[in-house]
Amino acid sequence: MDFLNALVALCNYVLVPSIAYGSQLALGALGVTLIYGILRFSNFAHGDTMAFGATVTILFTWLLQSFGISFGPLPTALLALPFGILGCIALVLTTDRLVYRFYRQQKAKPVILVIVSMGVMFIMNGLVRFILGPANRKFTDGERFIISAREFKAMTGLREGLAFKTTQGITVITAVVVVIALFWFLNRTRTGKSMRAYSDNEDLALLSGINPERVVMVTWLIVASLATIAGVLYGLDKSFKPFTYMLLLLPIFASAIVGGLGNPFGAIAGGFLIAFSEVTITYAWKKVLVYALPEQWEPTGLVQLLSTDYKYAVSFSLLIIVLLFRPTGLFKGKSV
Amino acid sequence: MSEPFLIGEAMTGGYGAGPDILHQCTIAVEKGEIAVIVGPNGAGKSTAMKAVFGMLNLHGGAVRLNGKDISALSPQDRVKQGMGFVPQTSNIFTSMTVEENLEMGAFIRQDDFNGTMQQVYELFPILYEKRFQPAGELSGGQRQQVAVGRALMTQPKVLMLDEPTAGVSPIVMDELFDRIIEVARTGIPILMVEQNARQALEIADKGYVLVQGRNAFSGTGQDLLNNPDVRKSFLGG
């Protein structure tokens, strides 16, 4: 029995990766939940909005790299991020002007807007593949680790190493900063409060003189920023591939719905819940158990509940369980 | 005779392209007075008030505020002109705190509205106590006070209340009426629709009895209470 090594292995393979993945899902789910709360539809194009923001960021990263500009130990992509956000804002505002506004004026039902957003999804996905191609791209540079497994072993003398990647550190820090900024905006500023008011009671918001077109525009600005940040962080941490982002839609929606659609706090909690479930259920626990259990109880198999290929099944099952027993999500969201 | 402060004169119209609900209906409120619209279910009481506020298409008649024709203005623009409206249902932001509700009421104001908020808190002391609570957690009577307070934040020149006592207990109803009288005493004319005809007419300076979208009777509150026809048909003898 060796609890310390068990704990380190648990951190290395389960806790750290799921905190990073959870932060990425939470940022994605915040965007979905804001659109749902304010524009009142489920935005299926969100995964590809993330992909587009990441694409623009990658293009600017390459441009900066070609000028010989780097960000020291941090990835150059962080310098390119503001340009990615601007590019993504331009795309979503254009989409809103050309597509969504028409349906808003028709007072289209949410289900129609969902189908419309699917169309937008395919177009955005095509756009991204047209610009960058469908291949897998890595655009991380700078220092790879904050603490590498070898350094950790040398420092502690333990048999198990704990690697902490730069991208994971950046992901968590950025997510915390962004979430604090978002909550400050929604709860403390006049515009943020008007967005909450519009989400709460549209008619009364109109009666109070809140301009719906402005609320919608500010929402898109925030959503595009969140989507780009989430997309870039995910791309830095794993890699960038257009279809992966389309598939990310499932865990992101699961996070938003499990947390309670329309509730920003729920989106964050949902993101971490989904991430932890996916990782813990698809992780092969043998290593941790070998350290944690007495010798005669040592497992012979991998102790992996599901193969990692099935990780989306985990989010889907969780989604169904929550919808069956708590249709408005763990935190009180809106029910359609 | 000078014209009332707010008047919807000979209003005819209905919702969208539907049939007419109001027929030559006239509703008015004078400065510093309380005017009450009463009548049986389906008489078009709320509709008449919504017509004054611009929420349905009128194809006859006119609405004038302080002598100015506002018939063509949208409800939002009428708020800017100084009309405050409290809808019957969904009249508060349930997920926001009481104080945020009041802030949203003052959304169109660019100046400092803290003074107005203090006045609202003085009128409704319970709101001051609960100012950091989500409005959706309050009781029915308290919610109505939030709703009226929200409408007062624009410092309206006239306040319109659509059944402020709907769904509250008789004790709370009495208290709400007291509060409404206090609001009127601050000089804001009040136009309100009421189910509880007798109590409403008792506090009204002017009453309108509507039947099927037409003016059936009108007069001072006391006149209507003493009118045998009104008593027999609407007040239960």
Q: What is the mean pLDDT of each run of 10 residues along chain B (237 residues)?
A: 86 89 94 92 90 90 93 92 93 95 94 95 96 94 95 95 90 92 93 91 93 91 90 76
What pLDDT is recorded for position A336? 44
Mean of pLDDT values over A91-103: 97
Report chain A residues whose CB lies below 8 A from the CB of B94. Answer: 200-201
Which residue range(s) make up the domain with B46?
1-82+160-165+190-237
What pLDDT is recorded for position A334? 65
Instruction: Give pTM, 2 decimals.
Output: 0.90
Interchain CB distance below 8 Å, B105 and A208: yes
Comparing alpha-carbon positions, the chain A residue that sits nearest to B89 is A204
Chain A interface includes B100 (CB < 8 A): yes
Interface of B with A in 131-150 (CB under 8 A): 150
- The letter for the amino acid at A284 is A
Interchain CB distance below 8 Å, A208 and B90: no
Percent of chain A exceeding pLDDT 70 equals: 99
| Total domains present in chain B | 1
Beta strands B206-211 and B34-38 are: parallel
Instruction: Decide if B185 is inside a domain.
Output: no
Nearest CA distance, B230 vs chain A (angstrom): 35
In a mutational test of the A interface, the residue from B94, B97, B104, B137 whose CB has the highest number of chain A CBs within 10 Å is B104
Instruction: Decide if B214 is inside a domain.
Output: yes
Interchain CB distance below 8 Å, B90 and A201: yes
Interface of A with B in 201-260 (CB under 8 A): 201, 203-210
Comparing alpha-carbon positions, the chain A residue that sits nearest to B88 is A204
- pLDDT, tens digit, for every residue of A65-86? 999 998 989 999 999 999 999 9
Interchain CB distance below 8 Å, A205 and B104: yes
Interchain CB distance below 8 Å, B76 and A200: no
Kindly report the three-state secondary structure assignment for every residue of chain B. CCCCCEEEEEEEEECCCCCCCEEEEEEEECCCCEEEEECCCCCCHHHHHHHHHCCCEEEEEEEEECCEECCCCCHHHHHHCCEEEECCCCCCCCCCEHHHHHHHHCCCCCCCCHHHHHHHHHHCHHHHHCCCCEHHHCCHHHHHHHHHHHHHCCCCCEEEEECCCCCCCHHHHHHHHHHHHHHHHCCCCEEEECCCHHHHHHHCCEEEEEECCEEEEEECHHHHHHCHHHHHHHCCC
Count chain A–chain B contacts defined by CB atoms under 8 A: 56
Instruction: Decide if B97 is inside a domain.
Output: no
Report chain B residues whose CB lies below 8 A from the CB of A203. Answer: 87, 90
Instruction: Decide if B112 is inside a domain.
Output: no
What pLDDT is recorded for position B18? 86
Instruction: Decide if B215 is inside a domain.
Output: yes
A56: closest CA among A36, A81, A73? A81
Instruction: Decide if B180 is inside a domain.
Output: no
Using CB atoms, which residue from A193, A201, A209 is nearest to B103?
Answer: A193
Q: What is the C-alpha separation between B116 and B128, in angstroms, rounded?
A: 13
Q: What is the C-alpha separation between B226 and B206, in angstroms, rounded?
A: 13
A204: closest CA among B94, B132, B57? B94
A210 pLDDT above the threshold of 60 = yes
Interchain CB distance below 8 Å, A201 and B92: yes
Instruction: Decide if B183 is inside a domain.
Output: no
A284 pLDDT above the threshold of 70 = yes
Mean pLDDT (chain A, rounded)? 93
Using CB atoms, which residue from A196, A200, A210 is nearest to B107?
Answer: A210
- pLDDT, tens digit, for every residue of A132-189? 999 999 999 988 899 999 999 998 888 888 999 999 999 999 999 999 999 999 999 9
Q: What's the CATH code of the domain at B73?
A: 3.40.50.300
What pLDDT is recorded for position B168? 87
For B233, phi then psi, to 5°, come to: -80, -35
Instruction: Decide if B131 is inside a domain.
Output: no
